[in-house]
Amino acid sequence: MPSDQIANPAQSALEGQQLRDELIRSSRHSPLATIVTDARAENVIIAVNDAFERLSGYAESEVIGQNCRLLSGAATCPKSRALLRQAIKAGRPAIVTLVNYRKDGQAFHNAVMIAPVHDEAGLLTFFIGTQLRVDGEVQDAGTAKAKLAVLTPQQLKVLEQMARGTRHAEIAENLGLSIKTIKMHRGALVHRLGVQTSTEAIRIAIEAGL
């Protein structure tokens, strides 16, 4: 058997570990509450960031090896949970808004976006989940999309990346722009949407299903 074929399993394992490390490292710097789960092990949590700890009240050590269901409770909509399960089973992204619970039992409206991550062979390996606390009434997707109509195509691309929890440096690299330009787009889109903060802009993006 050729030596390159013999090395493939070890190489695949190394690439898998590198992908895992990269996802975790990236999540640490995200301004959004972020969870990384292992799609090969019943989607148990393998990492969360500081923003998630603040949002949920759980320390990372308390949720490692757990399922995201630990945030669910009596008022969590079964339909929304089913939509997430279906998306996970199909290996596709999804955005839902549902009631979750902090460690102290406090309920809150949570806008959740999940995105699948595949390895170089195209196999589903991880899921990235970003969460945003939604205070007040949630607007419907049509209303949110109408608000986004004021943005330029480039601003929409930047906002979409922001809603995924991507850092400015990564957005710049993904879009082939400078970090300074990304920050200018961020400021412009916040102004055009008539909101005060990036978090409010991200909320609109999530509600629109961007």
- pLDDT tens for each residue of 103-152: 999 998 888 888 888 877 778 888 888 888 876 555 667 788 888 999 99
Stated pTM of the model: 0.65
H helices present in 1-140, as ranges = 3-28, 50-56, 60-63, 78-90
Average pLDDT over residues 149-173: 85
Enumerate the CATH 1.10.10.10 domain ranges in the chain, comma separated: 141-208
- Cα distance between residue 44 and residue 2, in whole Å: 36
Given the candidates 1.10.10.10, 3.40.50.20, 2.60.40.1180, 2.60.120.10, the CATH classification of the domain at 141-208 is 1.10.10.10
- Cα distance between residue 17 and residue 25, in whole Å: 12
Alpha-carbon Rg for the chain, nearest whole angstrom, is: 18
Within its chain, how far is the Cα of 32 from the centroid?
A: 8
| Whole-number pLDDT of residue 5 | 43
Residues in CB range of 150: below 8 A, 6 or more apart: 192, 193
State percent of the chain over pLDDT 90.
31
Residue 96: its H or E element: strand 94-101
Min mean pLDDT across 2-16, 25-39, 155-169, 177-191 is at 2-16
Backbone CA torsion sign across 32, 99, 97, 69: positive
pLDDT, one tens digit per residue, over 170-192 is 888 889 999 899 999 999 999 99
Enumerate the CATH 3.30.450.20 domain ranges in the chain, comma separated: 3-133
Residue 105 DSSP SS3: coil
147: left (phi over 0), alpha (psi -120 to 50) or beta: alpha
CATH 3.20.20.10 fits 3-133, yes or no: no
In this predicted model, which residue has the larger pLDDT, 64 or 18?
Answer: 64
